[in-house]
Structure 1
Amino acid sequence: MKGVSLASLGAIALVATIPFFSQIPGVPHVWQSQAIAQNRQPQGAVQLRLDVEKQVVAQDQQGKQVKTWVALKGQATVTPGDVLRYTLNAENKSDRPIKNLNLDQPIPRGMRYILKSATVPDNGKITYSIDGGRTFVDNPTVKVTLPNGAVELRPAPATAYTNIRLLIPSLAAKSTLKATYQTQVR
């Protein structure tokens, strides 16, 4: 069983921290990770907020699956296989547009990015890192050695993704943008 606790911090580089704790009865295993909303270009006019929701799957009266999202606040429990949706809100509080806004989102340890789940406004672009945020590309690839010794580039698996970068060319004055992405608890 994994517990989640959320603490909102009203800072630009760090908006929310989500430690995940795992403990197996009788065997103390504790690991923790962080989800951070961060802007690499310090611009005091941008306020970031990261919200997290857990997907809940239920059955309606006809037996059909119904998926809803429930906000995680305070102490919450997640288990392997649970899907979490992160919503990043960036608000430009200034009277001028902000140009070339880069918003980096690390994928927390113990989580797997759900491929193609990231959304960003029409004028934005999404890139990904598989090396801890050192480099970002549109479609990460990994080298795979085939049985005959040849090396081939293949799309990186979801488990290799470590960061998402949202590139926003311009955020209008007094406006807010919303971007989302999903992860799954390993």
Structure 2
Amino acid sequence: MKKFFGLVALVMGAVMCVNAQVNDTIQTIAGNDLYQGITQKLPYRQMVTPFGVQVTFAKTVHIIFPSAVKYVDLGSNRIIAGKADGAENVIRVKATTEGFPGETNFSVICEDGSFYSFNAKYAHEPEMLNIEMKDFLENEDTTDFSHTRMNIYFRELGNESPLLVKLIMQGIYKADKREIKHLG
């Protein structure tokens, strides 16, 4: 009986070893993108393409957005960011350590529902210190905004997209119709 259990343990050990080798092979083939359970790879068309920003320790980079900033999230403690004093649509970004390696990221959500993604890397002399993010509605077709604007909703607007509210308000402003002609 001991020989039987010894043989079973030997076979189980061999099976576990083969399974580990198969899993290593699958991870190598899949490029280490192995997730547990049922998963589906995200297509690139669903990715919000990040903007590249250079930051430094000795200077501050200012980014001007088309509407007020509601949220900022930093990818690491290599950078600091915050709203500029007295301005709701400007954030300042700076490196916390001189010459940090690699890159980090940060994201910004604005009041109009726009979502911006940035990859930040260190540069001793950044190419741009003041950056203006253009509103994608200016001089562009509004039928395809999938790569520029996400469907971000805020409590204040209920179930309406800030983009839809902005488009309606622009339509009302451009029409410039008065329902009441005069008061008598």
> Which protein has the bigger strand share?
1
- Of Structure 1 and Structure 2, the greater helix share is in 2
Q: If the length of structure 2 is used for normalisation, what is the TM-score?
A: 0.28
Structure with the greater relative contact order (CA < 8 A, sep ≥ 6): 1 or 2? 1
Larger Rg: 2
